């Protein structure tokens, strides 16, 4: 960032990345009230067109920002996200805002406690700007959000509001969740960076449980450094989440700064979903791989069934966790959710257990690829955001990586007909830092 004093023009402040804003706050070039005020103004201008927020309290946010500024003025030690506004997906519990899970069944639901990651955000000094729109119970039923790049197109789901808000400069950081493709696909559609870390990297205590073997917290930002900053602040160990990876995690932000970035070794992988991708998307990915000399690497034959295996796990758990909700409220859940619950109930425990066992076996089958590259290059979505607001697009290019518990990132590096299309990089489990270093290098090219 330039050493010159940062402009306090609202539109310019709204375009700052979180890292840039943090540096400006430390240098006292801006205040948190300036920054939050810029976000509030942008939301005021754009909310009717984008609809990214389920709950938004400008007065609460401004009061928190002024309190942060007062602490800084007193010379108090300021944590990493001090004064930085963040959006929180509306399946993540917040005691200061309702958490209605994108469902009329839970209208007015008010948690008494913050989710673990919300408490972590507050401890890091973040200003919770509000709750972002999610699809119905973080599944396929669309919310009110529109794509900021074209309001006639879907923003994707289920983390639709978070992706749209960051892409539209309404907030620099936002939390999402992914069980199939709910972070990566909206990032691709909206033209923003979306990151899903290794399964178990971030606590899910206080977050809606859809499919516990798959559910993963992720985030949105406009720079890879911002993703690292966000993850560093929310990835503390939580013994209440039995799936969390134990032990201290190295700083992702420090890993990005530790040495000069180098060109990553990438393998271009066409998954079993490849034939179903749009022709324009497939041509763009092939051209992108060719530009960097990335060789196509085929998957082993046993991956042919992986998309269905992911669905068996997810749909079985949806039937288990959402079935009672639908049974008690048949007129207040979508037809699509009812259909998937019915499908999930057709799978036996033996089907489910077999699909769970194959997660590790199929990951091990990737070893020959992972041992020779820093990341896998693969599509982030079937194509650009589809026209229409009745659906959220397909997660077919994401679900298999979620099933394999691997970290993934969507980078807004492609454009088709003036609309964004992400490339997806996928890393080895528990090697999130290396994936982010590869992503940071790609964003600079």
Q: Cβ(57)–Cβ(131) under 8 Å?
A: no
Q: Distance between CA 238 and CA 348 in Å, rounded?
A: 32
Q: Cβ(84)–Cβ(35) under 8 Å?
A: yes
Q: How far is CA 181 from the centre of its chain?
A: 9
Q: Distance between CA 413 and CA 43 in Å, rounded?
A: 26
DSSP character for 9? -
* Residue 89 bears catalytic tag: yes
Active-site choice (32, 68, 89, 103): 89
Complete edge-to-edge strand list for the sheet that includes strand 375-379: 53-56, 127-132, 85-89, 173-178, 216-221, 193-196, 408-416, 419-426, 375-379, 266-268
Active-site choice (32, 68, 158, 410): 158
Kindly tell me the burial class for residue 300, based on how many C-beta atoms sit within 10 Å of its own C-beta (0-12, 13-18, 19 or more).
exposed
Q: Cβ(156)–Cβ(190) under 8 Å?
A: yes
Active-site choice (103, 160, 162, 182): 182
* Residue 158 bears catalytic tag: yes
- If you count them, how many residues does the chain have? 445
Q: In this structure, what are the phi and psi dihedrals at residue 35, rounded to the nearest 5 degrees? A: -65, -50
Give the H or E element holding residue 194. strand 193-196
Q: Distance between CA 45 and CA 199 in Å, rounded?
A: 37
Q: How far is CA 41 from CA 11, 13, 46, 195, 255, in A?
A: 9, 11, 9, 27, 35
Please give the full DSSP string across 62-85, using - where no structure is assigned.
HHHHHHHHHHHHTT----TTTT-E
Q: Would you please indicate which residues are annotated as catalytic (active-site) residues?
A: 89, 158, 182
């Amino acid at each position: 960032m330039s050493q010159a004093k940062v402009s306090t023009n609202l539109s310019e402040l709204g375009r700052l990345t979180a890292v840039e804003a943090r540096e400006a706050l430390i240098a006292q070039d801006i205040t948190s009230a300036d920054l939050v005020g810029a976000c509030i103004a942008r939301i005021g201008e754009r909310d009717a067109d984008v609809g990214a927020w389920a709950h938004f309290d400008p007065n609460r946010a401004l009061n928190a920002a002024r309190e942060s500024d007062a602490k800084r003025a007193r010379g108090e030690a300021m944590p990493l996200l001090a004064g930085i506004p963040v959006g929180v997906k509306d399946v993540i519990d917040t005691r200061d805002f309702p958490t209605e899970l994108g469902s009329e069944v839970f209208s007015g639901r008010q948690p008494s406690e913050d989710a673990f990651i919300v408490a972590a955000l507050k401890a890091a000094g973040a200003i919770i700007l509000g709750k972002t729109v999610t699809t119905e119970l973080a599944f396929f039923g669309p919310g009110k959000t529109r794509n900021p790049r074209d309001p006639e197109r879907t923003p994707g789901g289920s983390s639709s509001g978070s992706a749209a808000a960051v892409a539209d400069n309404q907030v620099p950081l936002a939390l999402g969740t992914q069980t199939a493709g709910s972070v990566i696909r909206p990032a691709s559609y909206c033209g923003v960076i979306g990151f899903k870390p290794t399964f178990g990297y971030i606590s899910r205590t206080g977050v809606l449980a859809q499919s516990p073997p798959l559910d993963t917290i992720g985030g949105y930002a406009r720079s890879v450094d911002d993703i690292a900053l966000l993850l560093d602040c929310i990835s503390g160990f939580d013994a209440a989440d039995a799936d969390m990876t134990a032990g201290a995690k190295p700083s992702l932000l420090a890993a990005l700064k530790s040495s000069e970035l180098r060109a990553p070794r990438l393998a271009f992988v066409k998954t079993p979903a490849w034939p179903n991708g749009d022709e324009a998307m497939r041509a763009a990915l092939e051209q992108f791989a060719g530009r960097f000399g990335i060789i196509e690497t085929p998957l082993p034959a046993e991956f042919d069934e992986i998309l269905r295996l992911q669905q068996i796990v997810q749909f079985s758990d949806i039937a288990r966790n959402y079935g009672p909700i639908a049974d008690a409220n048949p007129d207040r859940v979508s037809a699509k959710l009812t259909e998937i619950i019915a499908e999930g109930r057709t799978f036996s425990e033996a089907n489910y257990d077999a699909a769970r066992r194959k997660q590790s076996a199929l990951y091990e089958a990737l070893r020959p690829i992972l041992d020779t590259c820093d990341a896998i290059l693969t599509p982030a979505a079937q194509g650009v955001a589809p026209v229409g607001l009745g659906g959220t697009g397909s997660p077919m290019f994401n679900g298999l990586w979620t099933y394999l518990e691997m970290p993934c990132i969507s980078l807004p590096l492609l454009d088709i007909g003036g609309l964004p299309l992400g490339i997806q990089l996928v890393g080895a489990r528990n090697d999130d830092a290396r994936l982010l270093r590869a992503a940071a290098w790609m964003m600079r090219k």
